[in-house]
Structure 1
Amino acid sequence: MSDIPLRIALLTVSDTRDPKSDLTAPAVKVCIQESFSNEQKVEFQYDIVRDEKSDIVEKLRNFSKTADVILTLGGTGFGSRDVTPEATLEVIERRCSGLEVALHTRSLEETPMAALSRAVAGIYGNTLIVNFPGSPKAVPTYWKVLKPILPHGVKLLRGNDVTEDHAKLQGK
């Protein structure tokens, strides 16, 4: 992808988790590290915030100053305290509806419960923000969708030349 490290922020959204009981962020980190172990250096940031819209919004804006990608973990369901999508929508400037459809479609192949997800994805400045479910079991499903498109997406957000990528995609 690049000599520049891929900067990924993991934001767990939960009223009940702390760093010791958070199983989702470590699961995401393992998926990412295994995916990019040889081809791309990855730098991580991590935090946990309560299911409070204002707290989530503040953290998304702060993380976006230094992260290429922010993955929120949790708060995407039907629960009255699940406000991660609303916070994300308040922050993002452009919605990534194709990515949302791809994530939801792949998840529905795994479980009908995926229909209860309200996860969104979008762009704020030069940062991609994607809502992941809070379940560690769902992480590989979401990651399978995101992993192949992430390098190209980050190049575009960074303003890098993608001519070579486009030529490869077109078989040239």
Structure 2
Amino acid sequence: MARIARVITVSDRSAAGAREDLSGPTGADLLTAAGWDARVVIVPDEREQIAAAIRSAVAEGARLIVTTGGTGVGPRDATPEATLPLLSPAIPGIAEELRRVGAAKVPTALLSRGVAGIHGAALVVNLAGSPGAVRDGIPIVLGLVDHVLSQRAGGDHA
């Protein structure tokens, strides 16, 4: 299995070059340290562009896609709405655990509407758009991704 990952940063300001992306590189560094070939892609908070970035990552061979940003309750936050129609199946337990772990540190983590699930041959997980959320979330994702991908390939429960 190719260990290709994509981190998709969803941010109008970062996409426009008005703000440095801190969460995407944090995620890519953590994934690289865990043995994944990780690259960051930045897109604005636009449903079509978010969905296109996810589809493109899968087409390029990514087996793990982590989005960061666009999961809150702001008027432009659209990552869950862009992601959910692509997922078959959705895996709500991952998003629930990310919120639980995040809320233990920062109560507003409960406002994240992130989703997780399978698109094509990849696990897709939405994380909130802060470096802290990424640092807290990536270990959870890494603890599950190999089992998820094995199951999708027909593997048995270990």
TM-score in terms of structure 1 length = 0.82
Letter in 2 for 1:56: I
Partner of 2:142: 147
Structure showing greater radius of gyration is 1
Partner of 1:12: 9
Gap runs ≥5 in structure 1? 167-172
Partner of 1:97: 92
3-state SS in 1 of match to 2:14: coil
3-state SS in 1 of match to 2:13: coil
Question: Size of the alignment, in residue pairs?
Answer: 155
Q: Is the 8 A contact 2:51 2:83 kept in 1?
A: yes
Partner of 1:86: 81
Residue by residue, what CA displacement relative to the aligned partner does 1:109-158 show, whole Å, maximum 9, x if unpaired? 1110111111110111211110011101211211232121122222223x
Once the 2 structures are TM-superposed, how far is the Cα of residue 162 of structure 1 from its aligned partner?
4.3
Instruction: Write out the 4+ residue segments of structure 1 that deviate beyond 4 Å after TM superposition.
Output: none
Picking from 50, 57, 62, the partner of 2:51 is: 57
Gap runs ≥5 in structure 2? none
Aligned-residue sequence identity (percent) comes to 32
Distance 1:59 1:128 in 2: 14
Distance 1:94 1:44 in 2: 24
Q: Is the 8 A contact 1:106 1:145 kept in 2?
A: no
Partner of 1:31: 30
Partner of 1:138: 133
RMSD: 1.8
Partner of 1:170: none
